[in-house]
Amino acid sequence: MSACVTAIGDGRAVLRFSLEGADFDAALAEAGEYDGKVTIRDIRVTKAPVLAELLDAISVVGLLAQLNGPGIHFATVSGDFRLTPAALQISNGAAVGPSLGVSAAGVYDLARGTVSLQGTISPIYMINSIGRIFARKGEGLFGFNYRLSGAAARPSVSVNPLSILTPGMFRELFRTAPPRIAE
Can you give the residue ranges of every domain in the chain? 44-69+83-174
Query: Is 68:99 a contact under the CB 8 Å cutoff?
Result: no
**Is a pLDDT exceeding 50 seen at residue 7?**
no
Which pLDDT band holds residue 182 (cuts at 50, 70, 90)? confident
Distances (CA, A) of 123 to 73, 87, 108, 160: 13, 30, 25, 14
Distances (CA, A) of 168 to 18, 35, 142: 34, 28, 6
Which pLDDT band holds residue 114 (cuts at 50, 70, 90)? very high
Least confident of 54-68, 91-105, 154-168: 54-68
Which pLDDT band holds residue 18 (cuts at 50, 70, 90)? very low
* Average per-residue pLDDT for the chain: 73
More confident residue, 106 or 181: 106
Burial label for 167, CB within 10 Å (0-12, 13-18, 19+), is middle
CA 178 – CA 115 distance, rounded (Å)? 12
pLDDT number for residue 4:
47
**Is a pLDDT exceeding 50 seen at residue 57?**
yes
Instruction: Enumerate residues 6+ apart whose C-beta is below 8 A from 91.
Output: 79, 80, 81, 82, 105, 178
**Is a pLDDT exceeding 60 seen at residue 33?**
yes
pTM greater than the 0.75 cutoff: no
